[in-house]
Structures are given as C-alpha cells and as structure tokens.
Chain A
Amino acid sequence: MPKKKPKLAVWKFTSCDGCQLSLLYLEDELLELAECVEIAYFPEASRRRVPGPYDISLVEGSVSLPEHLEQVQRVRRLSKVLIAFGTCATSGGIQALRNFTAVEDYARLVYERPELIPVLAESTPISQHVPVDLELQGCPPNRAQVVAAVAACLHGAPPPRTPASVCLECKRAGHICVLVSRGLPCLGPVTQAGCGALCPGWHRPCYGCFGPKETPKTSSLARWFTERLGAKEAELVRAFRLFYANAPAFRLESEAHEEPPRPG
C-alpha cells in the first residue's frame, strides 16, 4: 500500500492574499510540492476540501474580526504544525495601524453604517492567540523560504533561520549604502533579512517590510535619522509605523517619538 501523503492546508485571515499567491506563483515547485503533500484545503486554489486534521497548516492574515478568535483556535486544533507566514500573520499587518487609534473612529470615517461591520479593536498576529510552530516574516515572504520551511517540516528537520539584518544581505550584494552614502533613512540595519536587500538595489531605502530582526537597535538608528539626516519626530513615527507597526520593537520606537497627548 502506498504511503499516505502528509496533508497541507492553507488558511486565510485578514490579508491581501499575496502570501497565498506566492504559493500559486511557485510555478514548477508547486507541482513538485503537490507530489510531496496532499493539498487538502486551499480554497483560493481549489474547490476540493479534504477534512482535517492536517499535518501542516500555512496561515496567512491577521486576527481582526470577532469570529476569527474562534476560527484561529479551530485551525490550531486541526493542525499538527502551524506556520504563520507573512506580515499580517506574524505581526498584524498594515491593518494594525488601527491599533494606534480607536477603531470606531476608523470605521466611522469609512462606513456609512459602521454598526454593520463588527471588528475587533486591534489587528493581531496569530501567535497572540494560539501557539505557532514557525513564523515567516515578510510582505510578502520570500517564496524560497516558504518552500524551505515546508520541506523542513516534511523531513522533521529544524527550519532554516537567518537571524541577520537586511544590512548583511546588502553588503553581500555589494550595494552602495543608501543610509551612509546617500543620506536616505534606511531601515535595513534593524530589519530582518530575507528580501535579498531589494530596495537598496533599486536605490531606495529599506522600508522594513520584513519586520524587525532579533534584538534590533531601533533607538540608535532613530538617533542617526534625527542627528545626521535631520528627520523630524513625525517622520520617525511614520518610518517605524508601517507594515510592521504592531511588532513590539517597531511599535515601541514609534511610540517613543509620538507627541504626548494634549491635556484635557
């Protein structure tokens, strides 16, 4: 009897679908992947639904609706290995910008009848609600990393880790430093590697779409931006409050530069 293939499920919470799409963009590897696993649940790609439990779940998107609270528990129960992939699933995503304000204000701004759309006050990462076995940062994560992570799970090996900053990739690529040589506010020194130093290669500063690296020295970078580049406090807030606004390191740094609320 042939060995049963491990079952893979792909789940979506609040997102732009880009991370799931990175799977469909795998081209040749997608068919290879389908050889190694049974794609059992992946609504964006298939009408076919094989019931759980699943050996590996890839989870895209952030928790942002009341019903997500129950759904994320269900996904955890159904999954042996749960991989959160992408900025939304690992930090809350760009939609976590609402975490810095009252969500009602946002809803009122954009809805005629906000009461029809119940949303949670904050947009949060999967790991805030259930244990996550592996997180892959990036908006979107690098496809090769996703494949490597799934492959590692299939072989019971520890997933590959690169605890380095974009700076390291930039030096390896031989790019001219946009921060030092061009005087542009680059988040490369505090941003997790994985994109291959994409932005500096296109002559623009890194905007941090892979999120904070381990132990990032955000305050020293912020000081550089202020002292050497003349950045204003509001610019620092915006720089750290982007796709990884809700990641603790970036969140704290952005809050440190916020105007104190006026009394009364």
Chain B
Amino acid sequence: MKSRRVQVDYLARVEGEARLVLKVRDGRVMVAEFAIFEPPRFFEAFLRGRDFREAPDLTARICGICPVAYQMSAVHALEAALGVEVPRPVRELRRLLYCGEWLASHALHVFFLHAPDFLGLPDALALARQQPDKLRLGQLLKRVGNVVVSRLSGRETHPVNVRVGGFYRAPRREELLPLAEDLKQAMEAAQAALRWVAGFEFPDFAPDYEFVALSHPGEYPMNEGRVASSRGLDIPVTAYEEHFMEEQLPHTHALHSRLKARGAYLVGPLARYNLNFARLSPTAQAAAREAGLTLPETNPFKSILVRAVEMLYAAEEALRLVMAYEEPELPAVAVTPRAAVGMAATEAPRGLLYHRYELDAGGLISAAKIVPPTSQNQKRLEEDLREVAERHLDLPQEELTWRLEQTVRNYDPCISCATHFLRLHMDRG
C-alpha cells in the first residue's frame, strides 16, 4: 500500500490546542503523534514564592473546565504537608463539590464534545436540531452540576470558597436543601442519557490497558485513596513519584508520564470504573449492566457510557450528601505554616491528578509539581491512535481522520491542563 499522511492541524471539540499526525509507509503506521501545542504558562515556576494560602486560587486557573479538581488536589497536598485534618462535614462538602464538577464536566463531554462523533454530526448545535430532547438532558445535567458547584463555592468556573483547612464560609443547610429536587431530576436525566448513549454503535476495540486510579476501601474514589492499578500496583500517594515519571518529548508541549516499570497506562473514568466497580451504588451498578458495560470494560469508545454511569452516581451521591449535611461549627480549621513537604492525588473528571508542594518556614511555596491526567494519558493515547489507524488503513481519508479524532476524544483530553512543564532533576551542566 502506498504512503499516506493524516494530519489534523487543530483538533476540534477538545479543551485546548492539539494536532494529530499520522504517517504511514507501506501499510505500516510509522508515526502516530498527538502533539499538544498549547502554550506553556509556567504554573510550577510562578507558584514558587507564593503563599500556600494562594494555591487553591492560583491552581484553579490551570483549567476552566475542572478548577475544583485543581483546588482539591492542592488543598489536600498542603494539608498533608501541614498536618491538618479537616472535620467530617468539611470532608463531605468537598465530596459534594467534586460531585458537582463531575456532573458538569461529564455532561459537557458526553453531549457537547463526544456524542456528535457517534452520530456523524459536527457539534452539539447540530444535535440540538436533530434531537433537541437529548441536548436538553445534557443542558440539565450540566446546569445541575454547575449549580452544585456555585451554591457551595460562588461560581462554577474558578470557585472562590475553597481554602486550605476547609472553606471560607460553610453553606447553610437551607442553602443546600433546594438542590435535592435538581439532583433527583439529574439522576433521571443521567439514566436517560445512559440509555441513549448505550444505543450508539461502538467500534470493536479493546487494547490491553494498565488502568490506574485511586482506590478507597469504602467509597467510589474522589478526594482520597491509594494509587492502584489493574496490574497489581497498590501504593500510598506519597510513593507516587517512586513509580511514575515524566519525560519531555520534542513533538509536544506536554510532558509524557510513564510507569517506570511498564510504560504507558490509562487514567480516567474507564480506569476508575474498572478498579472500583464494587464501590458504585447499587443503582449505578445496575444501570451500568443494563447499558451493556462489562467488567472489566476495555473498549475506550465505551468511556461515554462510563461517564454517563458516573453522572448517575455523582447525582445520587450528591443527593445523599445534601440530605445528610450538617453545618460544621467552623468552616475551616486553623492552619499554621511550617517547613514541610506534602503530596496528594484526587480524581479529576479526566483521571488522577497529582500535586506535590514544598513549603518554607513562613508558608511560602518553594517547589511545586503538578501532574494532570491528560499528560498521564498522552502516551497511551498515542498507542491507541497507532492501533486504530492500523486497523482502519483501508478507510477513505475523511473517515479515517474522523475515526482518529474520535479516538482522541474518547480521552476527553484537557489540553490546557496538560501543558505544564516540570522537571525534577535539574541539569546544571
């Protein structure tokens, strides 16, 4: 077969700027590159010298889609450094906040970014014309997620209420209770969304992934847990950097993560689902089975189903948290700065998000490391591209391009997040 080249210069319906390059010679894929050309913003550099109390506001700006995830990883890492334990109501409020972000972010991805692929449509506006009732489900889920986040934290993009030690102000019970009706509607909408996406046609594709996610003995993981994998990894977050590393490659602006022992791995909804199915609510488990999801589920095109299952779970869990909410006596515990190091990982909608901070005695940050889910997935994403391309080299150019774009969108890659550049070992030559 002759040589061909597929190039998408500006990938649509992802968060940020990326390019896709595939080079084929004699029927073999020679190059499959997912190039992130999002400009660097140097977060880890300018976090140095900032007060630790500023970290949640600063790191929120890494991403407009999942600011809560950045705030949560930051406060947990800083609390680990400073030996702070938050009271139960604060912990529960953080989980509620995370449920809101999962709902809004997954709804955005499922309805606005990913579903159009399965229907051969360019965007959600076309979906609105073709199946307005379906887009309305997405609007509802997105709105409820956003309302949860803003009711608890001021606004959905870059919330203002999160601080190290807790919150600036704890919402009153009567502020949260009206969310119950919205959340019940969201549960119904998520069920309907799941039934809808379960009817899509899925390419037959099941790579041999190593799934990596947090794992918690009692909960579907959001803010806490050990780092676990489908190939036996089970470590505390403090040991993350002993097992994972990042490397800079010439073709992309984002660092590639790898498991030191084995290479590429996958984080995100599919990994969470496979490693923590037993921790989902019975409702979510039943819905997943009905939708045709298996265990393990290794088809990345079915991540859209898993996101719908997680929307259902997040709405149900948020409802439980709202109903059980007791106002804390104080919204935050006192925090005293000291020289310390702390790390934490939480489950951003797109997967494991790791933060590590070093503080000086006055509470100024002296070093920061942030490893977002998209840079962890990048290596695995390129392997998917290669495998999908090899199976579909006979497709006409336009269809092959579309299929490869869809392969990228399975990941819901957040490119703004991924463009961070850190290096740990300084080579001063």
Which chain A residue lies CB-closest to B105?
A: A21
If A17-B15, A111-B423, A139-B61 touch, does A22 touch B122 (CB 8 Å cutoff)? no
Q: Which residues of chain A are within 8 angstroms of B11 by Cβ–Cβ distance? A: 43
Q: Is A107 an interface residue (CB 8 A)?
A: yes
Report the minimal beta-carbon distance from A239 to chain B, rounded to whole angstroms. Answer: 10
Contact of B421 among A31, A110, A139 (CB under 8 A): A110
- CB neighbors of B among A227-244 (8 A): 238, 242-243
Inter-subunit contact B61/A16 (CB<8 Å):
yes
Q: State which size class the interface on A falls in.
A: 35 or more
Q: Is A95 an interface residue (CB 8 A)?
A: yes
Q: Which residues of chain A are within 8 angstroms of B414 by Cβ–Cβ distance? A: 17
Q: Is A154 an interface residue (CB 8 A)?
A: no
Which chain B residue lies CB-closest to A120?
A: B39
Q: Is B45 an interface residue (CB 8 A)?
A: yes
Report the minimal beta-carbon distance from A143 to chain B, rounded to whole angstroms. Answer: 9
Report the minimal beta-carbon distance from B9 to chain A, rounded to whole angstroms. Answer: 10
Q: Is B176 an interface residue (CB 8 A)?
A: no
> Among the listed stretches B46-54, B311-319, B350-358, B377-385, which one makes contact with chain A, having 4 or more residues with CB under 8 Å of it?
B46-54
Compute how far the CA of A105 lies from the CA of B104 in the bound complex, rounded to whole angstroms.
Answer: 38
Q: How many residue pairs bridge A and B at CB < 8 Å?
A: 177
Q: Which residues of chain B are within 8 angstroms of A224 by Cβ–Cβ distance? A: none
Q: State which size class the interface on B falls in.
A: 35 or more
Which chain A residue lies CB-closest to B16?
A: A17
Binding site for B on A (CB under 8 A): 12-22, 24-25, 27-28, 31, 34, 39, 43-48, 64-65, 68, 93-95, 97-98, 105-113, 116-117, 119, 139-140, 195, 198-199, 201-204, 207, 209, 238, 242-243
In the complex, besides A44-B15, A198-B154, A199-B168, 16 extra interface pairs with C-beta distance below 8 angstroms are: A21-B157, A22-B157, A25-B142, A25-B156, A27-B142, A43-B13, A44-B12, A45-B123, A47-B405, A48-B122, A65-B39, A108-B426, A112-B427, A113-B248, A140-B157, A207-B57
Q: List 17 A-B contacts (CB under 8 A).
A: A16-B62, A18-B65, A21-B157, A25-B157, A45-B124, A46-B124, A64-B41, A98-B46, A105-B45, A109-B42, A111-B423, A113-B250, A117-B253, A117-B421, A119-B39, A140-B157, A202-B154
